[in-house]
Chain A
């Protein structure tokens, strides 16, 4: 409660007042719209009575056309959990194909008239079926746990259908395998695809690490869909030696790893944002330790070569070794 009170402190007042008024306005509009939408839904339901009928013979109706010679092979579903005949959770022990694809009577009727698509739920990014309708079919079973954060998550808000990442009619869904997952994610996340080719990156190219080691694509409490509540907590799952708490801390490290590092790729060593000495000098300019210009004159072979220790090797870290914090009693300057 103290936390909440401090948050609503004096300097936050104008923002929160505006926020409250905005909410009031929006929710007033909500009352009117909700009523209008409710009547619209009832009207639509009446119109669509024909399209909610299931096929007469279930999957046999579907498999007459969608056989092994079909353009889009589907028979591999029988090698998956979805296509199992005894698994009581599986679609095939319920309404078979129509458990996921929805009532198909109208679809099969039209197919006989050579109308080859429509009136059925199709799962993909290019599908005519609205994304929300596609995802509703999946979420009717795959609810809870991580999917609790799906609504309002980055992927959901961007209208990403489940079928954009998951493929059902194959033996092994590529996104669920460490060996093939990155290629699925990077087919949309094209900036990250470039970044992993840089000089320094996590071992994603070599398939030793994968996207879901750090990200939870179904939604999470953290920014950027991270698996832990904060960026640092996510990083510390693998880099636990940086977690401390050490005797002499380096505060930016405790704040946010991203103060100095980037996650997907960098042209600088250790995924640093820029050269070590430049990063350090963005925060340090002490009396006893002059903030020397990052000059080439300090390099070996030049007049001021004694200053080269700031520019070569591990640069500032040649001496300030414990940049992530020191647990040495004489480590206040992160030297030990």
Chain B
């Protein structure tokens, strides 16, 4: 009688475990593996310079505010990790934002003051936005798959939704990415934890490739 009950328990556990594994596999299969990601996102082949213009729309739900910003951008990449991003804001007021793997420098000519934010000083839990945006703008397949779960759009291989693996470390719940024909960023739509949204469009992106050593990363000054 006792052994019969034990057998029953073992079967039950086995069934639950099997179902659970299937469930896990099903969930996992929704997301891109690192191998799949490296074919979806652009592999690093050499130093690159991307230039173009951008339009940014931030919607702050709580107070019903829409902030529109536009200007020029420049992204320098010498290795998959080493990237400098320049944000030359023209409207509503001129301002420069420079982002490297180490620093974010905001140069506000009206305040005659530069604000330097050292990324190494900021906690991993920090969700102040700008520092986390860098991970997306780099589009490094290795880094992006280590930080995010990526789901490809059913209709287009150039559209994906990404979810931070560590929710507490990011201030956004999800981000919709759209790539252009050259696999460079065309648009990002962030849904933030507080339901605010940030949309950035990259317009007329030009790509220029260089040989190793031909360009040096500019520093944020």
> Do A and B come together as binding partners?
no
